[in-house]
Amino acid sequence: MGENFKEIIVTPYHQIPLEVPDPTNLHEEDSNAVNDLVTKLHEHYLMDNMYDEGDILFYRINYRLMDTLRISKAAAEEFHKVYHIVNPRRVSGGYCKKCEKIITIVPIIYGALKPELANLLNAENKGKLIIGNTNDIREGNKIAMFGCNVCETPLPEYGTM
C-alpha cells in the first residue's frame, strides 16, 4: 500500500479491505484522489449489480465519503453528484440476456387475492410488475423475485426465493 493511502473496511458484512486516499496526506496535485475513492466505493457497493444504485447504496456511499474524508454531508453529496454527471445513476436496472440490453427489473408477484387482481393486472400491463405462475412454487424449487419489464423473462440472478 502506498504512503498516501490507508485501508478501510467498507462494511462489517464484506470484510474486504479497500485501499483509499488518506485525507491527511492529500496533495494539491492529487486532485483525482476523491474521484478515485468515489469510483472504488461504487465498484465495491455495486459489485452484485452495477445497474442498481438504489437509495440505500447511494446514501451508504455518501456516509462512507463523509467518514473517510472527514467532510460534511453536503460536500459528500457534491462529490457524489459530480461522479454521476459522468456515470449516470441507474436504479432498478439489470441486464436481460433475452432482450440483450439493460432493462428495468420489476418484481414478480406469485399469487394474489381476487380484490387485488384488477390492480395487479393494470400494473402488469404498465410494465411495473409481473404476475408469476403459482404452479412454479414447489418445495425445493427456487423462483425468481424479479423479471424484465420488456419481455417478462424471470431474472433469477437478481434474487430468488
pTM for this model (two decimals): 0.64
For 28-69, write each residue's pLDDT tens digit: 444 577 888 899 999 999 988 888 998 889 999 999 999 988
CA nearest neighbour of 18 among 61, 53, 56: 61
Q: Which residue has the cell 408477484?
A: 109
